[in-house]
Amino acid sequence: MLTSLARAIYRAQEAALGRPTFDYWQELEQSQWLSRDAIEALQARKLNVLLRHALAHSPWHAERIRAAGLEDAVRASHVGIADLARLPTMGKRDARENLDHLVWRDAPGGVFKYNTGGSSGEPLIFYFGRSRQASDAAGRMRARNWWGVAPGDREAYLWGAPVELNKTDRVKTLRDRLVNQLVLNAFAMSPERMDAYLDTLKAWQPKCLYGYASSVALLAAHAEARGVDPGLKQLKVVCTTGEPLYPHQRELIGRVFGAPVANEFGSRDIGFTAHEAPGGQMLLLSESHIVEVLDAAGAPVAPGEVGEAVVTGLTSEAQPFIRYRTGDTLRLSTQPAAGGRGLHVIAEVSGRQTDFVVARDGRVMHALAVIYVLRAAPGVAQFKCIQHAIDRMEVQVVPGPGWSDASRSTIEAGLQARLGASLRIDLRLMDEIPPEASGKHRYVVSHVPLAGGLQQAAA
């Protein structure tokens, strides 16, 4: 009865906000069983709708569509998936520098401003609409359903939260509880706080635990070090997100929490993209995304080879992301989805690496706690944060339009609010931020070790 009530409240909320979440979820439950050819035909139909909106309402994309000689085909809805290659790719810089010529501000249902988390080191302001919101929520609902978790079942989130809750945050917390969702702050994981989290989870008895991969692993390592059995007898699945899930983390989480672990792939700008299904396959939300895998020169890689994920968001009409270079590398599987689904299969995802940071009072924070501060500062084109000691952090910034002394003050005040007023900040303005010796980019690096087994869990 509680699940049914929570689902009814959730459905009423989505309807009141004009989000077709539950309708789209029902569509996804049916469309996943289409053949691959039928799913790609569905993608092509949605692509033509997206391109027509882009041609009519997004001048930056309209110019590229005309330059590619696709205008007539778009107007006639005759564009095929293969025709996408005639359009150039777009990157974060394109989205950042051409914002006003990308957004369809009169999109049905309105447009909503958002920031990327900045884990790429390049924060991005963008807009999305109701259909994109519905796609994200409905895609997760279908993925949870694969694991026996229905909308309205109890879920717990180990997620980022503000330093202090304002009125809006308190209202959201109440709303979360009404729809059977519990949020625990991943930005304040002191040993004492993690003890309380374990007690809270045991009392809540969620069917799904969802959170940053490294944060969930950290909580599991803490429980094991304390000799605590979480006692989550109702738990069906632990869903991780935000970063790569390493084998030792998967084993630790599954062993401690006593449930299978399923990883998610996506980003704020592109949205929920794929989720692991029982059996281990990572299945693409094919009804909402077309994914190409390209090499450094922008050419398609051979089937089964690794390259950059270039995504076209089929529900991104409010601000179209068409052939968008995500910066993530992946490999598409040459095998079909198991069990008769026609969805595309991602064989491997290689995301970006972040570290935990540690406050003077012992709180362990996911790197996004720092990233959120940098993304809120105007004029930050790129960044890298290095915690050299418990009370010392180096912040490298490539300034962009809008950078000022106020930006510096925003960063310093935000980091000290997170990590303590005694934090010394060395903010350096740079022309470019070089990658690591490995060639990879790490945007938050901490040289402050975690205690005992926690370090191994997070590594």
Environment class of residue 107 by beta-carbon count within 10 Å: exposed (0-12), middle (13-18) or buried (19+)? Answer: buried
Flag the least confident range among 126-140, 159-173, 233-247: 159-173
Residues contacting residue 40 through CB under 8 Å, at least 6 positions apart: 81, 286
* Cβ neighbours, 10 Å, residue 90: 21
Mean predicted lDDT score pLDDT of the chain: 89
Q: Are strands 282-284 and 271-276 parallel, antiparallel or unpaired?
A: antiparallel
Residue-level pLDDT at 371: 84
According to the CATH classification, is domain 15-127+282-350 in 3.90.550.10?
no
Q: Are 6 and 149 in contact (CB under 8 A)?
A: no
Average pLDDT rounded to a whole number, residues 51-71: 98
Q: Are 356 and 366 in contact (CB under 8 A)?
A: yes
CATH 3.30.300.30 domain range(s) in the chain: 357-458
CATH 3.40.50.980 domain range(s) in the chain: 148-259
**What CATH code would you report for 148-259?**
3.40.50.980
Angle at 233 between CA 232 and CA 239, to 5 degrees: 55
pTM above 0.85, yes or no: no
Give the pLDDT confidence of 277-296 residue by residue, as tens digits: 999 999 999 999 999 999 88
* DSSP type of residue 90: B
* Cβ neighbours, 10 Å, residue 257: 22
According to the CATH classification, is domain 357-458 in 1.10.760.10?
no
CATH 3.40.50.12780 domain range(s) in the chain: 15-127+282-350
Residues contacting residue 206 through CB under 8 Å, at least 6 positions apart: 153, 154, 155, 156, 182, 232, 234, 235
Average pLDDT rounded to a whole number, residues 64-70: 98
Q: Which of 120-129, 188-197, 335-344 has the highest mean pLDDT?
A: 335-344
Angle at 377 between CA 102 and CA 318, to 5 degrees: 20
